[in-house]
Amino acid sequence: MKNSYTPESAMAIMAHPDDIEFSCVGALARWARAGARISYVLCTSGDVGIDEPGMTRQLATEIREAESQAAAEIAGAAEIIFLREPDGLLQPTLDLRRRLVREIRRFRPEVVVTGDPTIVWAGSDYINHPDHRAAASAALDAVFPAAGQPHLFEELAAEGFCAHKPRKVFVTAWEHGDVFVDISSTIEIKIAALRAHKSQMKDWDPEEMIRKWGTEYAAGKEMEYAEAYRVVTLEDDESWEKRKNKGEGN
């Protein structure tokens, strides 16, 4: 199904710098261009992701956070939050869930975008990173039911972060998608944002691969490039509008 829905706000929750750019920045940039507020939340800063002589985790953190900031600016994101959990050791703990609930209640997104925690085998040449699965699991558990339950993490209300249930969840779906977002107008932004991660790209240019993926997702759907998702709607149109009118939505 082709999807032309544009939320007023969206929060992407992923494990590492560059995860958003590889997976969902085409849709996020499209929404940003239409006026949506966009927030990035990265669980780790990719501090073990630069394998070079003399590299330290602190220096890698600084490099990768700067690259992420640059990529977010290219896409039009309003903010980027680094939780700085340990790279390569991420776990979907209650503490991480609480931290994500805090960010969801603070930003109050209409849509949360995250990965699919069930994907382990990703083709014949890749095993989905355990951090990706952990971040996705924690994100989904934070979205529902925790973020919208006022009696869960009640201490957050004292900080001013009251319960908020997002309207929809977009799960990046790789080959299992059934909802496709047209990113023909933002494919160049996606490529440019991914190139901003210079420590990861090195001498490799991702353009050919990104265009190939986008073309494959768009095949037969009257669009040039697409991203694939599975979408869960937690609030129907009528309920969401009632909440907005009461000041409980965005």
Number of domains in the chain: 1
Gap between the Cα atoms of 221 and 209, Å rounded: 20
State yes or no: pLDDT of 248 exceeds 90.
Answer: no
Integer Cα distance of 23 and 109 in angstroms: 19
Cα dihedral 73, 2, 184, 237 sign: negative
Residue 4: predicted pLDDT:
83
Residue 118 lies in a domain: yes
First to last CA, the chain: 26
139 contact partners, CB below 8 Å, separation of at least 6: 13, 100, 112, 114, 115
| pLDDT tens-digit readout, 17-60 | 999 999 999 999 999 999 999 999 999 999 999 999 999 999 99
- 121 DSSP assignment: B
| Mean local confidence (pLDDT), 114-135 | 92
Does the residue 117 lie in any domain? yes
12 by DSSP, 3-state: which?
A: strand
Element (H, E) at 14: strand 9-14
Residue 109 pLDDT: 98
CATH of the domain at 195: 3.40.50.10320
pLDDT at 190 over 70: yes
pLDDT for 239 equals 80
20 belongs to a structural domain: yes
Q: Is 102 contained in some domain?
A: yes
pLDDT for 62: 98
- Domain span at residue 119? 2-245
Q: Domain for residue 250, yes or no?
A: no
What pLDDT score does 250 carry? Answer: 58
